[in-house]
Structure 1
């Protein structure tokens, strides 16, 4: 019986006859299979690309370009003639991305307004002159853009017209709607941006000093942590009969047993694990490399996921998305979401925070209550500064009781 989704059928291949991008179609099919798409989905996406190719050659000849304009034009024409099937737009967007990745199609020219041009130059400055990581650059430019849009109108008006009072009033308006931590981050980004403007001669005064300082108390709050029964409930509610459950269980064990940060788990690669020695390497904050032991239960959970849950993929990251495309997590947000969902499944409420960092706090709290010193905790969590670890002294209740003074007048 003929396979209805035969990717090598002559009828499907005829759609690409004489098309100049025909060699990329085989790569397109291979990439979809590697990303975990089903055979019917891959066939239908390839058919959509074939219909687009025939239309493009009919309308523009074999020299027709693949870009956002021609794709939008085709989809509009296709929708007028008959119903546009689900997935066509995504299939053609995937084609465009692949052609640009391989260099067959030139990259898109971003359309930027004056504000975005200034922010783009600021980002280049942070990357090439300051050597900051992309996440830090994204944070600082994210806070700088709304400031620029609100304070500077663009056009013929120069950046030199920005005054110190403008900066102060902007921060005061924004601070009313934000937490103290978010406001601090915003002020840090604004100071960096204003120093850049002064260094490049775009403003006359160093306006960074006009950004108000937000007074906050260090270590003013208690770390959020889980009790031992709560921790057991989080792990027990992972459905390890499914591929996603095995992945989540392995991720949670790495958070629980080793206190890893979400980004360290998301970026862990297969090559980072030395199975013979029982060690693995990670890149922590500030590009700091660290080698850590791999506990037996954590290693067993990872092996179970690799053998019985991880999709077949050329991606070298250990943990992949469960849904297609089965690629690596684009950011630490995927691990944070897994942790948040696990806490919710366990029915745990009343926590100040529900992200992956709760498990890091839990490990430190458990260590200090079993007699570990702050120095030992700082080494396990890889804190660069001893002050960062001092927050956990506040949960060491037995030792704090030894330091407490007697209440005047007797017991209360």
Structure 2
């Protein structure tokens, strides 16, 4: 495999692997080459099944690194480009998978839902199909079957989770009716689940805690510079974690001081970019963001393989920062609540708060009306005194 060593080094360099971390990939390439030579296999004869055989022998030999296809991905990519028949035929798609794939496309293209919401709806729809027991054949489904599924879910989960299941099932049944999978619209049979959900006030963080959260980000390091900019974006603009993750270089208009936010439902909103936030992002782009990359997302992983931060990664870096600051672990949405609570305390009308947070429905903003306790005291009825019962 010696002729392909240079190509492998090039692939690893493009993906952000440091020179020292490329060495183990060369070593495993040599190990695989010797294994193939012992079996008189050419690169053009290496199949996916033989790769699995090699990995199994590697594990049995006591190796703990490079024992999965994922860890060998750069090497296998190079070998596939050299003619190794590593592509496996796609496994047959079941009728249930085909139905749910169509439902997911419908939610994305017609409803414009976020990927995380689509995944949650599809998961609950799959649970309904598994409980029904007839796969994708819904001809025998009636209102009794729908009611039974909702009641069975409500017996095992919290009221909030059962309510979400009913909403997802209602959406799925409506899709099935629209596409002709069922002849009758059964969505109305997925009735709302009653039950008291624990109602709590939206919680922000204090100014002191906010300063502590930013202070623990060491801006002399690449990770700290990035984390500082991310947390400041969450604090000052009230962005969601997914909105920070998909922010692209072209979304920032440095001349006008505006940033375009890709929100829920494919919604695009322009927000003013505060000077403090702009300076933090500029510092990251100039001094900490990997320069040799074609990725257009603003915030990237600092370790190889190079990729954009995900929604989950944004949440993790906020939680790690809160732990380092000695705070109770908190997520990025808590910072969004903090911005709203600060605006309520400053007397900003709820309508304007909803515009800043980009709520599509005023109901989402109304929860912050409960935060202003002092103003609520003026409308509270006095407790009756005296008298007998």
What TM-score comes out, normalization by structure 1 length? 0.80
Equivalent in the alignment of 1:376: 352
Give 1:188-337 correspondences, 5 Å limit: 188-215=167-194, 220-312=199-291, 313-329=293-309, 331-337=310-316
Equivalent in the alignment of 2:341: 365
Deviates more, 1:86-95 or 1:266-275: 86-95
Q: Are residues 131 and 395 of structure 1, via their aligned partners in 2, closer, same or farther at CA, if it must alter by over 3 Å?
A: closer
Q: Which runs of 5+ in 1 are unaligned?
A: 1-14
For the 8 Å contact 1:115–1:149, the answer to whether it is kept is: no
CA shift for structure 1 position 36: 2.6
1:137 aligns with 2:118: yes
CA shift for structure 1 position 306: 2.6
For the 8 Å contact 1:238–1:248, the answer to whether it is kept is: yes
Equivalent in the alignment of 2:21: 41
For the 8 Å contact 1:256–1:362, the answer to whether it is kept is: yes
Q: Are residues 282 and 48 of structure 1, via their aligned partners in 2, closer, same or farther at CA, if it must alter by over 3 Å?
A: same
Q: Are residues 204 and 288 of structure 1, via their aligned partners in 2, closer, same or farther at CA, if it must alter by over 3 Å?
A: closer
Q: Are residues 318 and 402 of structure 1, via their aligned partners in 2, closer, same or farther at CA, if it must alter by over 3 Å?
A: same
Equivalent in the alignment of 2:361: 385
CA shift for structure 1 position 358: 0.9
CA shift for structure 1 position 267: 1.0
CA shift for structure 1 position 137: 2.8
CA shift for structure 1 position 265: 0.8
Q: Which runs of 5+ in 2 are unaligned?
A: none
What TM-score comes out, normalization by structure 2 length? 0.84
For the 8 Å contact 1:219–1:391, the answer to whether it is kept is: no
> Quick one: which of 140, 144, 147 aligns to 1:168?
147
Equivalent in the alignment of 2:72: 92
| Distance of 1:205 and 1:103 partners within structure 2 | 52
Q: Are residues 269 and 145 of structure 1, via their aligned partners in 2, closer, same or farther at CA, if it must alter by over 3 Å?
A: same
| Distance of 1:374 and 1:132 partners within structure 2 | 25
After TM superposition, the runs of 4+ consecutive aligned structure 1 residues lying more than 6 A away are 98-105, 216-219
Deviates more, 1:391-400 or 1:193-202: 193-202
CA shift for structure 1 position 368: 1.5
For the 8 Å contact 2:43–2:79, the answer to whether it is kept is: no
| Distance of 2:100 and 2:91 partners within structure 1 | 13
CA shift for structure 1 position 252: 0.9
1:110 aligns with 2:91: yes
Deviates more, 1:398-407 or 1:35-44: 398-407
| Distance of 1:78 and 1:391 partners within structure 2 | 56
